[in-house]
Every structure is written in C-alpha cells, then in structure tokens.
Amino acid sequence: MSAPWSSIIPEPGLSAAGDSFVEWQRGVTEFAFRRLNRNLQCCQDFMTARTPADLHKVQQDWALQFSSDYQAEIRRQMELLAAAPATSEEVQESAALVA
C-alpha cells in the first residue's frame, strides 16, 4: 500500500488504539530482552559460584529480581490497558484495582 496509515485509518480512536498497541509491543519486547539478559547473568553467576552458599545466593537473587520484574511488568500492562482508548468501563475498573 502506498498510502500512509494515517490516511487509511482517519478515526482518532483507531489511531490512538494503534498507538497503544505499539506502546504495548515495545514494552513487552523490552521486558523480554531485560529478562533474557538477567537470566544469562544468572547462568554466568552459577558457573562462577564456588560454594553451596554462593549457589543459594545466586538463586535467591534471581528469584527476587524475577518476582520484582514480573510485578512491575504486570503493573505497567494494567496501567496501559486502563489508559487505552476503546476499553470498556469494566476493563478500566479491573485494571485500576490491580494498578
């Protein structure tokens, strides 16, 4: 198609929904990349651990970071959902409860 998207979808609501989708996709990609890097670092830390206590510390740190990262990502997703145009009041209310 030779026409830009803005001329194909002129309605402001659809354009805003598209922007929300792009923001969601960008955030998911960044989150996945960040988690993959942290998992790789954890594997490297496991390989350099010298004692069972070191192994336990690596695993504990990984679990805490994992939990924190997923909690933050879920909160970001819910805030994005609540702010998205074209979501029902029920969806917005549910998202507000989580956020």
pLDDT bucket at 58, cuts 50 / 70 / 90: very high
Is residue 44 assigned to a domain? yes
Is residue 45 assigned to a domain? yes
Chain centroid to CA 46: 26
Is residue 2 assigned to a domain? no
CA–CA distance, 87 with 61 (Å, rounded to integer): 37
Contact 24, 97 (CB under 8 A): no
Is residue 4 assigned to a domain? no
In terms of DSSP H, where are the helices of 5-49?
5-8, 12-48
Is residue 1 assigned to a domain? no
Number of structural domains in the chain: 1
Q: pLDDT tens digits for 63-99?
A: 999 999 999 999 998 888 777 765 566 666 766 676 5
Domain that holds residue 37: 10-98
Is residue 64 assigned to a domain? yes
Q: pLDDT tens digits for 13-23?
A: 556 667 778 88
pLDDT bucket at 31, cuts 50 / 70 / 90: very high
CA–CA distance, 55 with 57 (Å, rounded to integer): 5
